[in-house]
Amino acid sequence: MIQRMMPIDGSSKAKRLKWGPYQNHLSWAYMKELREKDKTLKIYDVNPYIEVYQLRKNVYGLFNQNCDGMGDVWMYIIVGPERGLVIDTGFGLGNLKGLIEKILGDMPYTVACTHRGPDHVLGCVHFDTVYCHEYEVDNIKSFVKPTSWDYLFDENGANIWLQFDKKDLPSYKDFELIGIPNGYIFNLGEDYEVEAVWMPGHSAGHCMYLDKKGRNLFAGDDVCSDVMACGSGPRANSFYNQYFCIEAYRDQLVKLCDRLDEFDYIFPGHFIVNLESCLMLDILDALNAIVKDPECYDFKVVSPSGNGGEPRVGYHKYVRGFSTISYSMKGVYYPKEF
């Protein structure tokens, strides 16, 4: 039997050609229902690649299909009294800047990223200035370069995973990347504050954003209804490598779980959104179990290395009623060399 994923009749101009990893059934069912039936969905002429959903009175979700076959991606706009905050920039497909300014009108705005993933940061080239956690600055710089989009095409220049006009990808340009500390506050006017919450694991400087007034947490890839890859261990050509581990994520999540009275809902970087804040306790339970005994995994996945080396082994631990946390055995604890 050939495993396949049924198509979703979405409104985006881009069309799926091929998937990388298959998504789990719950995420797929949720996205099909949302993309085909949500009454807030809107497509703007300025950027027909992005589906815009009004998630709250002052929060917009910008949904874009992932250009490289991985999980489809959310970007967010929080509209404050005097200023907007844009969270993540996707691959930058289409006129992203024009779309944001169409939604916000004349309101000024700030752009901030959760982490270095190409599906979250390649669109940074549309903007002059972007914020991120201070540990992620060099990691993002290493990912955003003139050749960053080349892998989306085969040797003949044809799209591999997603059909779109190649000319609609942005051209590389330099931009200012400002590193911020844990706890940094973005003031969107009056008393509307959004706090940067450092949450390593998926990446060293992975950062969530806590909308205090709206009581929403924008969680990036440390929360995902498909799989949470939060324990890879040190990576080649990466910075602050000691924080690519389960233990680092667990230590910071303990602190956030003490603040569950400050937010009600979670908006991750992929798939299911509007998750209840109590989910963080279930994630913490799974992280604690892994730290206590890395061999307590529920299943493992063996994949080719891609370069002729040893196969990669990913261990998965279930998060109760949600998804899985994936990790390697070298990605559980802080490395001894740091």
State yes or no: pLDDT of 316 exceeds 80.
yes
The larger pLDDT score, comparing residue 98 to residue 304, is at 98
Mean pLDDT of 277-297: 99
Q: What is the pLDDT of residue 307?
A: 63
pLDDT of amino acid 251: 99
Strands 324-327 and 312-318: antiparallel
* The predicted structure's pLDDT at residue 19: 84
Is the pTM value of this prediction over 0.85?
Answer: yes
pLDDT of 99: 99
Mean pLDDT of the chain: 96
| Closest by CA position to 311, among listed 323, 292, 328 | 328
Q: What are the chain's domains?
A: 15-226+247-278 (3.60.15.10)
Which residues on adjacent β-strands are paired with residue 124?
A: none
Question: Is the pLDDT assigned to residue 42 strictly greater than 90?
Answer: yes
Spatial CA neighbour of 173 closest among 125, 207, 121, 108: 125
How does pLDDT run across 179-234, given as a tens digit for each residue?
999 999 999 999 999 999 999 999 999 999 999 999 999 999 999 999 999 999 99
Mean pLDDT, range 103-113, rounded to an integer: 99
Strand pairing report for 84-87 and 109-112: parallel
Picking from 27-36, 107-116, 213-222, 308-317, which range would have the lowest pLDDT averaged per residue? 308-317
Task: Output 336 or 317, whichever has higher pLDDT.
Answer: 317
Beta bridge partners of 218: 209, 267
Mean pLDDT of 40-57: 99
Q: What are phi and psi of 102, to 5 degrees?
A: -70, -40
**pLDDT digits 0-9 by tens, 6-30:** 789 999 999 999 888 778 889 999 9
pLDDT at position 4: 66
Does the pLDDT of residue 337 top 90, yes or no?
A: no
Please spell the DSSP secondary structure of 143-198, one letter per residue. Answer: H-STTTTGGGB-TTS-BSSEE--GGGSPPP---EEEEE-TT-EEE-STT-EEEEEE
Reported as a pLDDT band with limits 50, 70 and 90, residue 312 is confident
Which residue is listed with tokens 């198509």?
7
d(CA 317, CA 143): 29
- Tokens 């006017």 correspond to what residue? 189
Worst-scoring range by mean pLDDT, 20-29, 135-144, 280-289?
20-29
Q: How many angstroms separate the CA atoms of 129 and 46, rounded?
A: 22
Distance CA 139, CA 264 (A): 31
What local confidence, expressed as pLDDT, does residue 1 receive?
Answer: 41
Handedness of CA 143, 144, 145, 149 (dihedral sign): positive
pLDDT recorded at residue 224: 98
**CA angle (224, 21, 291) in 5-degree steps:** 45
Q: Is the dihedral of CA 94, 72, 276, 219 positive or negative?
A: negative
Average pLDDT over residues 115-123: 98
Average pLDDT over residues 137-149: 97
Asked if the model's pLDDT at residue 3 lies above 60, the reply is no
